[in-house]
A and B are shown apart, each in its own frame.
Chain A
Amino acid sequence: EAEVAQSPRYKITEKSQAVAFWCDPISGHATLYWYRQILGQGPELLVQFQDESVVDDSQLPKDRFSAERLKGVDSTLKIQPAELGDSAMYLCASSLGLANSGANVLTFGAGSRLTVL
């Protein structure tokens, strides 16, 4: 079964350091999402790509977070500098992204757990 690949699975860093997460979506999925899940909360959207273009980054803290999907396939989410409040699970998801094709079912990766000390 096709999977969304994410790495690293776990990352521990000190505040003010830079961190980066990588995601490889399911082949052929045009839409890629980065969500952040804080413990005890639901996933919250950070950024959405359609192919290589950003569709929605309104909730992305752009002073420290950046995301790219240069060739419209895999994607990288970067945080610089990391802050204590960034400790969370960073989830990547992808979907076919077909308009008017029913429920937009996202397939999630296993996530990258970030701990900022």
Chain B
Amino acid sequence: DQQVKQNSPSLSVQEGRISILNCDYTNSMFDYFLWYKKYPAEGPTFLISISSIKDKNEDGRFTVFLNKSAKHLSLHIVPSQPGDSAVYFCAASFRFSGNTPLVFGKGTRLSVIA
């Protein structure tokens, strides 16, 4: 049973517009949510995280919104740039206690078209 779900395998957006990537989760006990970006032939790189006690976290062009009641989070990228084209993974974890790895979704491939 997948605990973290990214139901859109791909998304295409025009350069300069907003990209919205969605993620749903099933376990209400998750304490943190993270977004990673992955280019081909490279490992995932950390983008931004949010604690379950927050509903928004912003870092430059990237904002993550969390709706706990809906068990849903989204990553907004504004404005989108061609270099943002990559696979984006949503991940979740419990409060770290020495035994809490990240649980990943399947990823969404973002294509930003110039």
* A106 in contact with B102 (CB, 8 Å): yes
Given A42-B106, A110-B42, A111-B42: A100 touches B97 (CB 8 Å cut-off) = yes
Inter-subunit contact B101/A56 (CB<8 Å) = yes
Interface of B is mostly: loop
Q: Which residues of A contact B32 (CB under 8 A)?
A: 102-104
Q: Are A105 and B46 in contact (CB under 8 A)?
A: yes
Residues of B within 8 A of A (CB): 4, 6, 9, 32, 34, 36, 41-46, 49, 51, 89, 91, 93, 95-107
Provide the bound-state CA to CA distance between A55 and B96, in Å. 13
- How many A-B residue contacts, CB cutoff 8 Å? 79
A34 to chain B minimum Cβ distance, whole angstroms, is: 10
The size bracket of the interface on A is 20 to 34
Taking Cβ atoms with an 8 Å cutoff, the residues of A that contact B are 4, 6, 9, 31, 33, 40-45, 48, 50, 55-56, 91, 93, 97-111, 113
| B29 CB to nearest A CB, Å | 15
Give the dominant DSSP class at A's interface: loop
Whole-angstrom CA separation of A50 from B51 in the bound complex: 23
Report the minimal beta-carbon distance from A53 to chain B, rounded to whole angstroms.
10
CB <8 Å contact, B106 and A97: no
